[in-house]
Amino acid sequence: MAQRTSPTERQRRLGAELRKARVAAGVSAESAAGLLGVDRGKISAIESGTRAISEERLRTLMCHCDCADEAYVHELVRMAAPKRRGWWERYRGLLSAAVLDIAELEAHAVRVRHSHTVHIPGLLQTSDHALAVFRCVLPALPEHEVAMRLAHRLERQQVLEGVGAPQYTGVVHEAALRMRFGGPEVVRAQLEYLLHMTDRDNVVLRVLPFTAGGFPGAGHTVNYVESRVPQLDTVQLDSNHGPEFLHGESQLAKYRAHLDVLEKLSLSPARSRDFIRDLARHL
């Protein structure tokens, strides 16, 4: 199989999981290469995500590494399957690869958990609100790039629709709800859209009010994407330099606990709806 020059986050994650299993089992790269009938360089390429691995070879490797967790192995096989072209691939070379990686992660998620302090979650933004946010970027984006980011954002939101859509739980701080991106009319429409979205069975939104006081991770945006098996969950954090992806066991545990605390501090879904409705009424 041809070598990839720019593996996606999902492809890199598969390689990292295979390396983790191999190292944990005490299997050397040379032994793995001999087992699979390839040279050692191809093992390094597989583990870096730059080369694909067949289902047969993957199962052989995991068996040799004494991995008895069939559900985990099955999900690795799904990750290794020839990639279907997702809608986000239309933006390849036009938007950053990391932004496309987020869309791919969400497309394979069974549940998404978000926490936001100063922004409305991207999956729940109206087009006018998203447009206002993109136009605040410095240095200012050219209009064609603003339009492209907006189109990508709206397509990304479709992950919450239809059969098989992931469960979504978002914690939004009161500060984010009070931000005036786009002015009062845009804000009112955005708040009303949040209420509309929470009519969906798979969408839960909770408000963290000012009165809740301090909370962990203030200022951070956290996107926790759950897989079919917990070992393959991913945390995505925003930074000034772009998205960051974490999947270490201790990191996953940390951010699960982080989100658990925020959900306990926040208002119930019903009270959150009342809170948002009251804010919209007084704009």
The model's pLDDT over 191-233, given as tens digits with 9 standing for 90+, comes to 999 999 999 999 999 999 999 999 988 878 999 999 999 999 9
Q: What is the pTM of this model?
A: 0.94
Q: Where are the alpha helices (DSSP H) in the chain?
A: 9-24, 29-36, 40-48, 55-64, 70-80, 97-107, 127-134, 143-156, 174-178, 184-197, 249-265, 269-281
9-80: CATH topology is 434 Repressor (Amino-terminal Domain) (1.10.260)
Domain extents for the chain?
Answer: 9-80, 87-281
Q: Output 82 or 246, whichever has higher pLDDT.
A: 246
Provide the pLDDT confidence category of residue 2 given band limits of 50, 70 and 90: low
Cβ atoms 44, 36 nearer than 8 A? no
Closest CA to 82 of 20, 17, 11, 13: 11
Under CATH, which number does the domain 87-281 receive? Answer: 3.30.870.10
Give the residues across from 207 on adjacent strands. Answer: 172
- Which residue type is seen at 199? D
